[in-house]
A and B are shown apart, each in its own frame.
Chain A
Amino acid sequence: MDVLIVLEDNNGKIHRMGLESIAAGQRLSNEMGLTAGALVLGGNADGLADQASAYQLGEVLKVNDALLESYSADGYSEAVKQIIDQENPTYVLFGHTYQVRDYVPRLSAKMNKPFLVDNIAIRVENGQPIFTKQMFNAKLSADVEANSSGPFLVSFQSAAFSMDAAAAGSASIRESTVQLDTAMIRTKSEPPFQEEVGGVDLTSADIIVSIGRGIGKEENIPLAVELSKALGGELAASRPVVDSGWLPSAHQIGSSGQSVSPKLYLALGISGAIQHVVGMKGSKNIVTINKDPDAPIFEISDYGVVGDILEIIPKLTEAIQALKN
Chain B
Amino acid sequence: MSEREVLDLDVLFVGAGPASLAGAIHLKRLLSKSGTEASVAVLEKASEIGAHSLSGAIVDPRALRELFPDFPDTDLPFEAEVSEEHLYYLTENKKIPFPFVPPSMSHHHCFVTSLGKLTRWLGNKCENEGVDIFCGFAGTKLLYEGEQVVGVRTGDRGIDKNGEKKPQFEPGADIRAKVVILGEGTRGSLTKNLIDRHELMQGCNPQVWAVGVKELWQMPSGTVPPGYVAHTMGFPLGQAIFGGAFLYGMQNDIWDLGLVVGLDYQNPGVDSHHELQRLKNHPWIRSLLSAGKMIAYGAKSLPEGGWYSIPKLSVGGAMLIGDSAGFMNGQRLKGIHLAMKSGMLAAETTAEALATGKFSESDLADYDSRIASSWIRDELWKVRNFHQGFDRGLFGGLANAGIGLFTGGRGWGIKNRLSSEAGHKKMQKGVKKNRYQDLQFDGTYLFDKVTDVYYSATAHEEDQVPHLKIRDQDVCVSKCTEEYGNPCEKFCPANVYEMLPDGDGQRLQINFSNCVHCKTCDIMDPYQIIDWVPPEGGDGPVWVNL
Contact = CB atoms under 8 A, between A and B. Distances in A.
B451 A256 contact: no
Nearest to A213: B500
A32 interface: no
Interface in B88-113: none
A185 to B, nearest CB: 37
Contact of B451 (A243, A244, A249, A273): A273
Interface in A284-298: 296
A94 B360 CA distance: 73
A105 to B, nearest CB: 32
A275 B447 CA distance: 13
Interface string B423-447: 0000000000000000000010000
B462 A249 contact: yes
A124 interface: no
Contact of B450 (A243, A244, A273): A273
6 contacts: A244-B509, A249-B463, A255-B454, A273-B450, A275-B450, A296-B443
B191 interface: no
Nearest to B450: A273
A256 B509 CA distance: 18
Closest 6 CB pairs of A and B: A274-B454, A275-B454, A273-B450, A274-B451, A249-B462, A256-B459
B528 interface: no
A274 B453 CA distance: 10
B329 interface: no
B454 A243 contact: no
Given A243-B509, A273-B450, A275-B453, 13 more contacts: A243-B511, A244-B500, A244-B509, A249-B462, A249-B463, A255-B454, A255-B459, A256-B459, A256-B462, A273-B451, A274-B450, A274-B451, A275-B450
Interface string A240-275: 000110000100000110000000000000000111
A256 B443 CA distance: 21
A147 B453 CA distance: 42
Interface string B486-528: 0000000000000010000000010101000000000000000
Contacts of B443: 296
A241 B519 CA distance: 27
A272 to B, nearest CB: 10
Contacts of B451: 273-274
Nearest to B452: A274
Contacts of A244: 500, 509
Query: By CB atoms of chain A within 10 A, which of B450, B509, B513 has the most?
Result: B450
Nearest to A257: B462
A249 B450 CA distance: 19
Contacts of B511: 243
B227 to A, nearest CB: 32
Interface of B: 443, 450-451, 453-454, 459, 462-463, 500, 509, 511, 513
Contacts of A273: 450-451, 454
Contacts of A256: 459, 462, 513
Contacts of B453: 275
A244 B450 CA distance: 17
A243 B463 CA distance: 11
Contacts of B500: 244
Query: By CB atoms of chain B within 10 A, which of A255, A274, A275 has the most?
Result: A274
Nearest to A242: B462
A256 B459 CA distance: 7
A249 B464 CA distance: 12
A263 B511 CA distance: 31
Contacts of B463: 249
Contacts of A249: 462-463
A273 B450 CA distance: 7
B437 to A, nearest CB: 18
Contacts of B513: 256
A41 to B, nearest CB: 43
A198 to B, nearest CB: 13
Contacts of A274: 450-451, 454
Nearest to A274: B454
Nearest to B513: A256
A296 B441 CA distance: 11
A18 B509 CA distance: 48
A275 B459 CA distance: 11
A247 B438 CA distance: 36
A148 to B, nearest CB: 35
A2 to B, nearest CB: 44
A274 B495 CA distance: 14
Query: By CB atoms of chain A within 10 A, which of B451, B454, B459, B509 has the most?
Result: B454
A246 to B, nearest CB: 12
A295 to B, nearest CB: 11
Contacts of A275: 450, 453-454
Contacts of A296: 443
B24 to A, nearest CB: 34
A90 B513 CA distance: 51
A243 B513 CA distance: 10
A45 to B, nearest CB: 45
B224 to A, nearest CB: 25
A275 B513 CA distance: 12
B543 to A, nearest CB: 16
A192 to B, nearest CB: 28
Contacts of A243: 509, 511
Nearest to B510: A243
A211 B450 CA distance: 18
A256 B515 CA distance: 14
A274 B444 CA distance: 12
Nearest to B511: A243
A87 B122 CA distance: 62
Contacts of B509: 243-244
A68 B451 CA distance: 53
Contacts of B450: 273-275
Nearest to B509: A243
A248 to B, nearest CB: 10
A123 B500 CA distance: 49
A243 B510 CA distance: 9
A11 to B, nearest CB: 36
B443 to A, nearest CB: 6
Contacts of A255: 454, 459
A292 to B, nearest CB: 14
A249 B509 CA distance: 16
A244 B443 CA distance: 25
Interface in A99-150: none
B363 to A, nearest CB: 47
A31 B511 CA distance: 52
A191 to B, nearest CB: 30
A14 B453 CA distance: 47
A234 B454 CA distance: 26
A120 B51 CA distance: 35
A273 B443 CA distance: 10
Interface string A212-255: 00000000000000000000000000000001100001000001
Contacts of B459: 255-256
A221 B232 CA distance: 50
A178 to B, nearest CB: 47
A205 B356 CA distance: 68
B468 to A, nearest CB: 14
A249 B161 CA distance: 12
A188 B453 CA distance: 50
A202 to B, nearest CB: 16
Nearest to A278: B454
A256 B513 CA distance: 9
Nearest to B453: A275
A263 to B, nearest CB: 27
